[in-house]
A = this chain, B = another copy of it.
């Protein structure tokens, strides 16, 4: 599978993940690895259920725990508008804001960055004296592939 969507793909990302875990004293265990690999090897966003099917696990807590861990570690993002998870494409950039283009045909998801837009949004919030802790930008539509 090609990798136009990830800055550092699969192997590199796994390395980043392992290092990140070690840095903070956590373990990149088997179940976490399984979930992460399932996500990084698919550029699509996967629901918890789809993940469970893919890694052959029908015990929800195991998958949900791995997802919670990976999400908190910043290795995976949760896309609330479609209730699905995706491996982060910029994990090395810690604490960055999540911005997604989500194709409703093929479910492929591209994580992109538009710092200038984010800046304007932050400005808006600041004008309202609102202290932002978490921002999510989710754009649903049809990707270039699926427009044909």
Contacts and interface: CB of A to CB of B under 8 A. Distances in A.
B142 A121 contact: no
Interface in A124-147: 124-125, 128-144, 147
B137 A137 contact: yes
Contacts of A133: 104, 140-142
A79 to B, nearest CB: 9
A101 B126 CA distance: 11
A54 interface: no
A117 interface: yes
A69 to B, nearest CB: 20
A26 interface: no
3 tightest Cβ-Cβ pairs between the two chains A and B:
A129-B144, A117-B120, A132-B141
Given A117-B117, A117-B124, A125-B141, 19 more contacts: A80-B81, A81-B136, A101-B125, A101-B130, A114-B124, A117-B118, A121-B139, A129-B143, A130-B139, A130-B144, A131-B147, A132-B140, A132-B141, A133-B140, A134-B139, A135-B138, A135-B139, A136-B136, A136-B137
6 contacts: A80-B81, A99-B124, A104-B133, A133-B142, A135-B138, A135-B140
Interface of A: 80-81, 99, 101, 103-104, 110, 112, 114, 116-118, 120-121, 124-125, 128-144, 147
